[in-house]
Amino acid sequence: MAIPEFELIRRYFSSAWQQAPVPELCLGPGDDAAILQMSATDQLLVSVDTLNVGVHFLPDSPPERLAQRCLRVNISDLAAMGGEPVGFTLALSLPDVDSEWLAGFSQGLAAAAREAKCPLIGGDTTHGPLSMTIQVLGKVPAGQAIRRDGAQVGDLIYVTGTLGDAAAALQVMQAGSAQLSSENVDILLRAFYEPTMRIEAAMQLRGLATAGLDLSDGLISDLRHILTASSARSRSNLGAEVNVSALPVSSAFKQVFPEFQQQVERAVSGGDDYQLCVTVPAEKARQAESLMADLSVPFSRIGEIVTGEGIQFHNEQNEAVLIHTQGYQHFADSV
């Protein structure tokens, strides 16, 4: 049986984090990152993720790209909360000492660290099946973190960049790319291995976005996280209406998935995009759009938070669109 990771953690470990609440802990497990109050003015964000060989990546994945992806994915969690990276630790398990692999991996790591201004501050290297756990630390002015639980009825839903490129990349890696130009293959592989870290964009959205996260599990799953957390906090039933015609997709993605319905399904269910998904009150929408334009960050309004439950999809003509796929879940049988 597939049990989602958050459910696993919640069920078994709730006692471990309730045992000893400390005054510094503002937000525990469940959001992209935990929040700790470090001083009157600053909060610390903490996020951790593991990638295992055979589960999250293939054994022959190029080490440089793997490192890039691993660090970027983690920094994306901080970025989604409006955090500024401070540093990261790396726990690396290696089956053997392969100098060439290590050189490539460390180069990829250094490149992503440089781009994010997020240095390696510590680590542990052990013997074992190839696995990497990265924990990133970031900071945010007290109370300004973008959490998952602040969405309200009437808020507009935005995503950055394009959706589904990582899903298209996986399709290409698994089934080949006969019909694609090498340029488009490159665009998709880069989307998968080097997802854009929306650090500056999310920092600009502090105070404007009522809720937000990065799209790791796919829009359906992740938007549900916002709805669930925000419903619980506001003690009301929040749902979402999403216009499938407004979903931003790349031309490379469209080449891989030529059918429109297929495009919609993959765009809303494909994981690993690490784009931001935020909710913004209507009266702040213009300001948010303008700030993103200044940063040249594509920022698409795809829907609205409504009273109700779940996510309803519709097209440009406001006709209901049925989605058959579910969001990505860890502990699934496939990659």
Residues 136-155 that bind its own copies (CB under 8 A): 137, 139
CB of 43 to its own copies, least distance (A): 10
12 interacts with its own copies by CB under 8 A: yes
Is 123 annotated among the ligand-binding residues?
Answer: yes
Residue 206 beta carbon to its own copies: minimum distance, rounded to whole angstroms? 19
State yes or no: residue 127 binds its own copies (CB under 8 A). yes
96 labeled binding residue: no
For its own copies, which is the closer residue by CB, 95 or 154? 95
Binding piece for its own copies, criterion CB under 8 A, among 128-136, 273-281, 283-291, 299-307 = 128-136
- Total of residues contacting its own copies (CB under 8 A): 77
Give CA–CA dist 66/61, Å, rounded: 6
Q: What CA–CA distances, in Å, run from 320 to 23, 223, 271, 316?
A: 47, 18, 23, 10
Instruction: State how far the alpha carbon of 150 is from the alpha carbons of 142, 147, 206, 231, 242, in Å.
Output: 16, 7, 12, 9, 18
* Closest distance of CB 266 from its own copies, Å: 23
Whole-number minimum distance, CB 224 to its own copies, in Å? 18
Nearest Cα residue to 109 out of 78, 88, 80: 88
What six digits make up the tokens of 151?
A: 């969405």
Stretch that binds its own copies, among 19-27, 152-160, 248-256, 284-292 (CB under 8 A): 19-27
Stretch near its own copies under the rule CB under 8 A, chosen from 97-105, 156-164, 166-174, 233-241: 97-105
CA distances from 309 to 97, 188, 231, 305 (A): 52, 34, 9, 10
CB of 12 to its own copies, least distance (A): 4
Question: Is the CB of 92 or the CB of 242 nearer to its own copies?
Answer: 92
47 annotated to bind ligand: yes
**Residue 167 CB contacts under 8 Å (≥ 6 apart), including other chains:** 266, 269, 270, 271, 272, 273
* Tokens describing residue 212: 């937000």
Region from 32-40, 174-182, 245-253, 314-322 binding its own copies, contact rule CB under 8 A: 32-40
Tokens, residue 101: 């692999």
According to the binding rule CB under 8 A, does residue 117 interact with its own copies? yes
For its own copies, the closer of residues 99 and 251 by Cβ is 99
Give Cβ neighbours of residue 331 (< 8 Å, ≥ 6 apart).
2, 3, 4, 5, 8
Sequence letter at residue 323: I
